[in-house]
Structure 1
Amino acid sequence: MNKRILLIIGGGIAAYKSLFLIRLLAKRGIATRVILTRGGSEFVTPLSAGSLSGERVFSDLWDLTAESEMGHIELSRSADLVVVAPATADLMAKAAHGIANDLASTTLLATDKRVLYVPAMNVRMWEAPATQRNVKTLMDDGQYILGPDAGSMACGEYGPGRMSEPESIADAIENLLSASQSIDAPQPLKGRHVLITAGPTREPIDPVRYLSNHSSGKQGYAIASACRALGATVTLVSGPVNIAPPVGVNLVAVETARDMLSACEGALPADVFISVAAVADWRAKDTGANKIKKDKDGLPQLDLVENPDILKTLSKAESRPSLVIGFAAETNDVIDHAKAKLARKGCNWIIANDVSGDVMGGDENAMIVVKPDSVTEWPRQSKMDAAKALANLIAEHLS
């Protein structure tokens, strides 16, 4: 790929993962320069980082040799992308507020490149309102956040706070470098908040069974990525899927339709709401505490009740987004069903698609944009290309 990143290693036990990251990137043809913070040097050594990167490791803002050539400026601009991993609460707070009192923070303030932050910290620190405000500020400034993952941590607690694995970070870096753009490139959705739902929901029947569908989440995730690339702040409320979240997107993971509605209402206000998720229409009226056993007298009775209508609810909400877009996954009479859904739900547009083939779980889609006064059929294309076309249409509508 012949690209170079600047890797800032913050202070945390997850710093050891950054050494694996350097090796992975080298195998992909991506060179790495390293800034090792004082805290980072408590966990990894300049010798180990330098040996793996093949370059000198930088740590001191007051290195007279480097600073005589304005080293922090050169470091911040000679790379194609700046990556902070692990990104501690302290580093992100400094970056969000423009504090520059060491080499890492000074470099982050001086750079004209995109920055990818890979957080790693205690779950309470991650969930603290101050940290969440700082993350939002960085994203609003056009920077990217990857993770954190949920799991057991070195501090003994469990929850979101673990640094993403090196393979996921390397994938994100490669994707950002492949789609890199100047910091001055047009971002027509900058300053806009786009709320998106994706994937299926799971409605429990008992502790081991649930009602769901075949949605893979690929289309919703692609739309989230496309909107983020145009500068939007994106909140992605997702049911259970097996794909990595787009870089720079605020992911809210949910299970049930009621969870999804609550998360969407909690994410308002937003400028745009795109309801891509394949939400289960029904759920079991009663969820057993124990597994339902086979009964020799016949099949068990399963009483169903209707789930909340997320698209209709947000279309009529007091803090309704100015543009509300629903998806209609149909197997027959696609346009007729989409027009009826548009009128019934109260949204602005419906994106209809025929899912009778391999669309749910596949990599391609043929969208039909249904508006109150028009119907536009797009050709079958990759879900990412379809997502980019929709993101551009949204930007044009809001301009």
Structure 2
Amino acid sequence: MIAAPGLHERLRLAAGVRERPPRRAVADAPGNLLAGGRWEDTAAGPALYVERVYDADATHGDFSLSELCEVPGEALSVLGAVADPQRLLFIDLETTGLNGGTGTLAFLVGVARFDGRRLRLRQYFLPRPHEEGALLEGIAAFARGVSQVVSYNGSSFDLPLLETRHTMMRSPFWPEGLGHLDLLHSTRRFYNRALDSCRLADVEFSVLGVRRGSDIAGWTVPAAYHQFVNEGTVGLMPAVFRHNALDVLSLVTLLRRLGGLVAGERVSFPSEALELARLAATHGDMGAARRYMDVARRSAVDARSQHLVFWRTLALLKRGSCWPELRDHCLEGLRAGWREPAVYVEAAKACEHRTRELELALKLVDRALLRAGMLTGRAGLVSDLELRRARILRKLGGAGKGAKRTGPSGDGPASGAPVIGLPLPAHSLAKRVLADNPAIDPRR
């Protein structure tokens, strides 16, 4: 026979009050994983974490962690970060699945913030899935007083997942007005096409000088946690903790490197100079933008970098309305061998609409037509070029140099006009134009 609950128990149940789970020793965690771990009292029960404090001289790769505190606040602001590193929270998650969704838990959350010039790193751990509320409360308490969260791809995964878990647990998410800086976006702008990939591990190796050595593969992390929970064995969990800690430290040094570049540090990749030029142009400093573009050109030694520098510089000149420079940049590119139709077109646009050099614009369109006639699948481009050519001729008065004329029969082409519509090698006229003007041959 089951005894009826007493008065105190009935009142507690009627009020919906839950008793706080008893505080446990760290050794009660399955497998006694966390040597040096601590329990933190929260409204949802005790939260388990380990903490490490890095002194001012601690390094990660090529940089000291505390160097971020020396980056000028103006440089951090250009990147979208708050000016005071003391108000930043660096965060990285390890989860039970890689695709997100309501069934995915964050079982290990690494968070770090500065205390003066020392960096305090905490890793909140979920020893049992039903204790998730305490983990979330612990993270929220540690984040109290910060102004911005810093992550890597956090806008697509980490923060939406945490928001979902807070909603599922019916607990408040982050403090209202808390900002977020996803360093993946800045990294792509600085290193896209310069690196084979902008995965954090690749950026660490090529930009930050981090050598992880033997590191657990990210796709094995969920299985390591499931083994820990189901079998009570430590297995690969120490490697998971190390992997997570390195991810968080890399956020600190990556922001330090990007901020240092904005503050004037020497660039290592042409793409860094190009992004600095873009940032300068965005803030209205075209003088600095031009200097960075010159640095990018001088440092581009391979064809891939030179191609990137050419097109990024063209885009910046267009954004800054530097039309004579854009024209000269395109002409220089043509002389250097960048004879894609788009180069001719960009130069022709500048000459027609901005510098009002209509005859030069017409010549550039003719060269573009010759080049486009050599390519397959470019009928739309040819049609656009013909329309542009006709418009320029109208502006020149309809009878300028290169205008189409008809012979006595009314159906012959003008002697100076390139013939299009058939493959270029079949055009005797096009061959003659190229023979008479070898310098404009787009095949050279």
Higher helix content, 1 or 2? 2
Given the two structures, how large is their TM-score scaled by the length of structure 1? 0.31
Q: Give the greater-gyration-radius structure (CA).
A: 2
Given the two structures, how large is their TM-score scaled by the length of structure 2? 0.29
